Amino acid sequence: MAELIVYSALNMIKNNMLRPVLCSVFCLLIFSSCATIPKQGEILAFVDGEPVTKRDVEYALQISHRRDDLSAAKTLDISRYIQQLIDDRLIIHEALRMGMDEFPGVRQKVQAYLVRESVTRLYNDEIVEKVSVSEDDIITYYKENYERFALDLIEVDTEENAMEILGKLKNGEDFGEFSHKYPANLPGKEGEQGFVFLRKSMSPAIQEPVYSLKPGEFSEVTKARNKYYIIGLISRQEATDEELERVRRNIERVLREQKIKERSDEYMAQ
Average pLDDT over residues 225-241: 92
**d(C-alpha 50, C-alpha 33), whole Å:** 10
> What pLDDT band is residue 219 in, cutting at 50, 70 and 90?
very high
Residue 14 C-beta-side C-alpha neighbours within 13 Å: 6
Element counts in the chain: helices (H) and strands (E) = 10, 6
Out of 31-40, 68-77, 139-148, 245-254, least confident range: 31-40
**pLDDT tens by residue, 2-22:** 343 334 444 444 444 444 544
- 259 contacts: CB under 8 Å, gap ≥ 6: 131, 132, 133
Identify the sign of the CA torsion 107, 109, 114, 119. positive
Q: Is pLDDT larger for residue 80 or for residue 214?
A: 214
> What pLDDT band is residue 122 in, cutting at 50, 70 and 90?
low
**d(C-alpha 44, C-alpha 84), whole Å:** 13
Q: What is the pLDDT of residue 263?
A: 76
**d(C-alpha 169, C-alpha 153), whole Å:** 13
Out of 57-66, 101-110, 232-241, least confident range: 57-66
* pTM of the complete model: 0.52
- Let me know: does 262 contact 161? Beta carbons within 8 Å: no
- Let me know: does 46 contact 88? Beta carbons within 8 Å: no
- Let me know: does 248 contact 166? Beta carbons within 8 Å: no
Nearest to residue 189, comparing CAs of 226, 156, 216, 152? 152
Q: What is the pLDDT of residue 266?
A: 72
Query: Which of 41-45, 51-55, 187-191, 241-245 tops mean pLDDT?
Result: 241-245
Q: Is the pLDDT of residue 124 over 60?
A: yes
Whole-angstrom CA distances from 195 to 1, 151, 181, 199, 214 are 70, 5, 16, 12, 16
Q: What is the pLDDT of residue 159?
A: 96
Q: What is the pLDDT of residue 191?
A: 63
- Tell how strand 222-224 and strand 195-198 pair up: unpaired
Q: What is the pLDDT of residue 243?
A: 87
